[in-house]
Amino acid sequence: MYKRKTKLSPIHISLIALAILVVIAVIVTFAVRNDEPKEPAVQSGIVYDDSAIEGGWETLSQEEIEQRLNDKVQAGMINISCNTAPYFKDGKSEGNVMLVNELNNLYPQKVEFYRNDTGEKIYESKAIAVGSKIERAKLDVELPAGEYECTAYFSNLDPDSGATLGVAGAIIHITIQN
């Protein structure tokens, strides 16, 4: 019996890869959102999702589908950049945090540091414009000398309302010398 092998075209491979990226972005977004306080549910009636648009994929060409998927992936991306080992002379001094909101991001960002051992928030920036950076900053909490494993959370902010649109995090190690 003759078996015919089919080979996926580059467009199909691209669409599959983009679909996987969208699924990953959605999973990460929902995982982060599940940690946030929930608003009370509406008791009666139907509530439509504001992000839903009329029409389906059937009206679009493959190129249009690919472009829309690319746009969705790009809109959900959070590019984070910081010093992963900031150093502070003492608990009151500025340290070399180097928090950068890269030019390829679409939104202002806010950065927060949380101690991994206690969950305490020890730093919160104000909004950082796209293409801007905070090179040095003081912590909001005076820590004694030592090394601290923390998580730096970068939040994309809606430029009009300031609402959080998505969050990404990275482990950092803060050193307080004296």
Residue-level pLDDT at 146: 97
Confidence band, pLDDT 50/70/90 cuts, at residue 164: very high
Confidence band, pLDDT 50/70/90 cuts, at residue 31: low
Q: What's the CA dihedral at 124, 36, 151, 74 to 10 degrees?
A: -90
Q: What's the CA dihedral at 136, 138, 139, 143 to 10 degrees?
A: 120
Percentage of the chain surpassing pLDDT 90? Answer: 54
Given a cut of 90, is residue 56 above it in pLDDT?
Answer: no
Given a cut of 90, is residue 85 above it in pLDDT?
Answer: yes
Question: DSSP strand E in the chain: where?
Answer: 87-88, 94-95, 99-101, 109-115, 121-124, 132-134, 137-138, 146-157, 164-176
The string of pLDDT tens digits covering residues 95-140 is: 999 999 999 899 999 999 999 999 999 999 999 999 999 999 999 9
